[in-house]
Structure 1
């Protein structure tokens, strides 16, 4: 699949929005590593869900597991240049992320492709959907 072919022409406003979304994603990753459910939740819309190999989890369930301490993260790193596409007040952010999570006392190292869909509400970008797919071994 290679890199992100079919890149449309961009204007200066696209660069500004792209920079905003990269900052939001970096700040969200830092919030995840802080293991502070309230801080993590500030990046999610109320209707946020995550889709993974284990199915679909809603915002409340995800944050409850973080709040309980059953799920923690000690690392979360974007390992490639993110692909950002903006469609008005909606944006799609795709990148390869490595992370170390701890779930119910067991450590997991993950290498995943992550796609986040953001919507702009009241001047803020909030995530409405996250989708993770395990990266193929190199």
Structure 2
């Protein structure tokens, strides 16, 4: 005897696929399936304020403020490719090896993805690292992550910008 069917075989497969898709859609966390979207104005302003706190801490060489803003698992990559942890970055600042006397930020863009914020910007820097000048124009990316309600810097990478004239010579 043949079982009773309400749908043709192809309709049954479609119904099962839709049901499975619906169940899996709720099983995956919202942040994992969401596309990047614009967060509220307040979150963007909070990240911009943290960028300003970081800028002021760098110029004043305020290691305590830097320590507060950096996550314990922070990794930074300088324009010359040097990788440094939070401990290494703070030690270099305490020793006075790296010194920034001017840091002007422009073209800042903040994108927020749930508990992660990505900042891209241009920076004009005046300063030294040991006996070498680090003055110039840079593009950078800084990544923040919200942990226990606080935003912390988890990653940074800088690239030196070169003059159009210098590229042609």
String of CA shifts for 1:100-125, please: whole Å, max 9, x gaps: 12222443312111101100112221
CA distance in structure 2 between the partners assigned to 1:9 and 1:129 by the alignment: 21
Match of 2:29 in 1: none
Matches within 5 A, 1:22-101: 22-52=48-78, 53-80=80-107, 82-101=108-127
> In structure 2, what is the Cα distance between the partners aligned to 1:134 and 1:15?
30
Structure 1 residue ranges without an equivalent (≥5) = 1-7
TM-score in terms of structure 1 length:
0.84
Count matched residues.
128
1:97-136 to structure 2, matched below 5 A, reads: 97-136=123-162
Separation in structure 1 between the aligned mates of residue 74 and residue 37 of structure 2, nearest angstrom: 30
Greater CA radius of gyration, 1 or 2? 2
Q: TM-score, normalised by structure 2?
A: 0.70
Runs (4+) off by over 6 Å = none
- Greater percentage in helix: 2
The one-character-per-residue Cα deviations of 1:42-94 (angstroms, maximum 9, x if unpaired) are 110001111122331111111101101111111111122x1111111111010
Q: What is the distance in 2 between the residues matched to 1:64 and 1:77?
A: 24
Q: Which one scores higher on RCO, CA 8 angstroms, separation ≥ 6?
A: 1
Distance 1:101 1:107 in 2: 6
Answer yes or no: is the 8 Å Cα contact 1:115–1:130 preserved in 2. Answer: yes
Residue 9 (structure 1) shift? 6.4
Q: Distance in 2 between matches of 1:9 and 1:87?
A: 7
Deviations 1:20-45 (A, max 9, x none): 10110011110011112222121100
